[in-house]
Amino acid sequence: MGTLPLKPEQDGMGYFYGEWIADDGSRVRVDVLPPKSYPRSLFVLANDAMHETDWLVFANGEEVVRVQARAAIAGALQNALSQE
């Protein structure tokens, strides 16, 4: 399975971001918007786009998957990208 190193802090819009690195070395820009319930210490500009319970995962700017737990992001992302 590929890897998904995300920045430890959210950006000013509220997203965690990084790159999906596939086993073959290809890379995809990934942005992850946590749910509204996720604790954060800063004003989030994307607050209206946040889902109540789901983590929204974007690849190259397009939403590709939603998950209920942060730990499920990498597996769900790999499944979504392998179907493209």
User: Could you tell me the residue ranges of all domains in the chain?
Assistant: 16-82
Contact 74, 4 (CB under 8 A): yes
- Say what the pTM is: 0.87
Query: What is the pLDDT at residue 64?
Result: 96
| Residue-wise pLDDT tens digits, 21-80 | 998 999 999 999 999 888 765 666 666 788 999 999 999 999 999 999 999 999 999 999
Cβ neighbours for 34, distance < 8 A, ≥ 6 positions apart: 10, 14, 16, 40, 50, 55, 70
Query: In this predicted structure, what is the pLDDT of residue 41?
Result: 58
Q: Give the whole-angstrom CA distance, residue 61 versus residue 17.
A: 11
pLDDT tens profile 7-25 = 998 888 889 999 999 989 9
φ, ψ of residue 23 to 5 degrees: the values are -60, -30
Q: pLDDT value at position 12?
A: 80
